[in-house]
Every structure is written in structure tokens, then in C-alpha cells.
Amino acid sequence: MSLADELQSERETSTGPLVEVRDLEKHFFEGDNILDRILGNGPVAIRAVDGVSFDIHKGETLGLVGESGCGKSTTGETVLRLQEPTGGTVRFDGDSILDMAGDDLLSFRRNAQIVFQDPYTSLDPRVPIGETVREALDIHGVGTLEERNDRVRDLLERVGLSEDQFDRYPSEFSGGQRQRIGIARALALNPDFLVLDEPTSALDVSVQAQILNLLSDLQEEFNLTYLLISHDLSVIRHICDRVAVMYLGEIAEVADVDTLFESPKHPYTEALLESVPRAETAERDRDIETLKGDVPSPRNPPSGCRFRTRCPKVIPPAETSIDQQEYREVMHFRELVEDAEISIHKLAEDAGLSGLEDGDQNLNSRETAAFVEEVKGDVLDTDLTGPPERVVDEAIGHLAEADWESAATVLRDEFESICETDNPELSDDSQPVACHLYET
């Protein structure tokens, strides 16, 4: 019996998903050192992963996609317990990995491996690649030294390298070759599950295709299950069976790859797909509607739906008649008022007034109207009409009295959306989506 057959024969598998993730959280904390405690400062949570749930079935590839900083890599590392979770559960082949210790955890490590994003920093430059690939076999005490070396040479051949390169150092290889070494290392113990953390992002386009084809071939040959983390939707479409779209630490949508690309539901998914470059000449002059605003900080994520600050489909209150463009501008104005980020002193000067920041100037109707028009012209990028305009005018009137709280209250009472008060949950249907537009 070969070493690979011996490793495979030790497996006992259960029915159901190979990987089950429920409400997974990983928070990092700032301001949690001794000095902060002496000064009475409480720790600030950075919610990198905040309630993520998904399943990965045996033999499939689940893609995890989203913008940089949304928590994709942290999710993959936490699923493998390379990062200790803050909350939630992860089950591998029916067993909770968060309860594992000792031999149980060591056994899990044999069955779940990772291919890191950067092929240049993931290898020790002082160690020959053969020893790097063999390290996991050495740690787990598998076979004799000769059997382990034979296993390494077979893997090097299988990933497109040569067994003659066993004693060479990482500096002698290109980026694509180094990534092949990383893949060989991940396969050394014949695992069932691989986390592929942006495996092609540091490679040239032609090399990316080679690595993706290699991963597809290896998956079929070794019956592997993948969690593929990427921000590149072309990579996701090429290799994945299903896709989970992630935004600011949460899952926004899950669907099989064809459904997601042909019929996305979540506005964020639509925006991601719209941003993909297209080769068709008919698409050459198309206008790409980019998302407005920056990704909020995971230190202080928005209330309700986390995408609402950039969403082009925020749901206005049912009793308010206003189009989406106007509503977006009003919401932006509300945020400026609530954060007191409008320079009423400068705007007053531009309107020929002064002293408003002190709240001690009584304006007549003409002066108030001038201030209202100055604020609307400077802050709002749309012309309001009807009831929405009257409410905004009333709020600006409170700003003329330096009454920020009353201005914010007026705007909130009239324009508050379900998107900012309630966090949408991922549904349980065939295409789960966390968006109030699709809630029943």
C-alpha cells in the first residue's frame, strides 16, 4: 500500500455537508492593553467576520467573493482555526472543530489545509522546497523518511514541477512555480478540504489560468473540497460550483455560479458583476454605474443593512413620495447632520450672514430663506419638491439656530428606512439573499 493510499484509508466520513459554518464571528480588539485599562478606556471591536453562515458539500467548490477588507481571508483562516473565533460554530465532517484539542485537532489538521495568497512569503527562503513540502508528513510522523521523500517527489511531479528540484530553494523559482510548491505542500497529507486564499492574485494572467486548471484537475483526481477566496469574479466563474458574496463581515447572497452571474438579487452583487470588464465590442462604450461612497469601517458598521450607505436601491418609507436619487441625497444630508459635519458658519457667510454657529442670532424670514437655499445648493446634489423639500427646509431652519438635534430628529422621523433599522437575514430559499427587497 502506498503512502497516499494509507492516508486515504484512515478516513471515516459522515453524511451531510463536509463543512458547516453557523453564525461565525471573528472580532479583533483595539485599546485592550494595560494602559487603556488603567485609563478606563474600553476595547473597541473590529468586526472582521460578524455572523457568517454557509455549507460546503463534499467535492464542490464554494467561492467566497467580495471587496478587499470585507473579511474573506479572515473567514477562511477562522474556519481552519488558524484564527480563534469570537463566536459561532464550525463543523467538519459532523464534528465541531472548536471543541477539538490534542489528537482530535491534529487529525483535523491532516484533513484540512490552506494555500496562501502570496507565494513569495509563504515559503521559508532558507529551506529547500522538498523539505518544505515534507514538513507536514514529518510533523504527523507518516511513514518512513524514504516513503515521505518519495511522496514529495510524486507531488512535485503532479503539480507540474520536477522531482530533481527537491533540493532547490524558493529563490530559484518563479511566482507560478512557488504557488505550485504551496499546492504540493497542502496536498502532502492527502486532505479532504482546502482553503484557497486568493491563489492566483499575485500571478500573471497566463500563469493564473495554469494554476486554476491545475486546481481543477487535482480536485477531480483527489476528490477535494475547496473554499476558494477571491475578489476576481472571472476566477470564481471558472472554477466554482456555488458562490457566497461577502460585504463588511456578512454574507449578502449565496447562489450557484450560473444563477449568480445571470440573475443576481442583492444590489451589491449586481454592482460587483457590473464592474467586471467585458470583451464584447458592443459593451465597449457602456457606462458603468459605480458605487458611491467608501466601504464603512468594521469598527463602526452601519445599523440595519450594512450596504445601505452605498446601495442604489434603499427602500424609502412607504408614506414618503421620493425617487431613489433624491432619497440618496437626503440620506447623505441626514448623515452629515447627525455627525454635525456641515460648516454652518461658512455657509452662513456665503449667504451674507454671520454668528449662526453660536446659536444667538435671530434671523428674519428673508435671512432664513437665504440660508436654507445656500445649504441646499451646497450640500444637496438634487432639486427636491413637495413634502420632502418642506421637511428638509424645516431641518435646515433648525441648523440656522445651531440646533443639530432637532434637525436630525425632523429628518429621521420623515425619512428613516427599514434598511437602517432592521438587519436583513439570509433567507433559506434556493437563492438566499440578505436584502429587504426580497423579504416575504
Q: How many CB atoms lie within 10 A of CB 119?
A: 25
Q: What is the pLDDT of residue 286?
A: 56
Can you tell me the distance from the alpha carbon of 396 to that of 408, in angstroms, rounded to the nearest whole number? 10
Q: What is the pLDDT of residue 304?
A: 93
| 3-class state of residue 6 by DSSP | helix
Can you tell me the distance from the alpha carbon of 437 to that of 313, in angstroms, rounded to the nearest whole number? 8
What does the angle CA 206 – CA 212 – CA 217 come to, to the nearest 5 degrees? 130
Q: What is the pLDDT of residue 234?
A: 87
Q: Where are the alpha helices (DSSP H) in 28-80?
A: 34-39, 72-79
Q: Give the strand pairing for 225-230 and 19-30.
A: unpaired
Picking from 183, 202, 208, the residue whose alpha carbon sits closest to that of residue 194 is 183
Cβ-based burial of 77 (10 A; exposed 0-12, middle 13-18, buried ≥19): buried
Q: What is the pLDDT of residue 258?
A: 94
- For the chain, the domains span 3-262, 324-416
> How far, in Å, are 210, 247, 313, 320 from residue 310 at the CA level?
36, 11, 9, 20
Residue ranges for the chain with pLDDT beneath 50: none
Can you tell me the distance from the alpha carbon of 18 to that of 233, in angstroms, rounded to the nearest whole number? 24
Task: Provide DSSP, 74-120.
Answer: HHHHHHTTSS--SEEEEEETTEEGGG--HHHHHHHHHHEEEE-S-TT
Can you tell me the distance from the alpha carbon of 200 to that of 180, in angstroms, rounded to the nearest whole number? 11
**CB-based contact 195:255 (threshold 8 Å):** no
**CB-based contact 418:438 (threshold 8 Å):** no
Picking from 40, 223, 198, 45, the residue whose alpha carbon sits closest to that of residue 118 is 198
Q: What is the pLDDT of residue 219?
A: 94
* Cell numbers linked to 330: 437626503
CATH superfamily of 3-262: P-loop containing nucleotide triphosphate hydrolases (3.40.50.300)
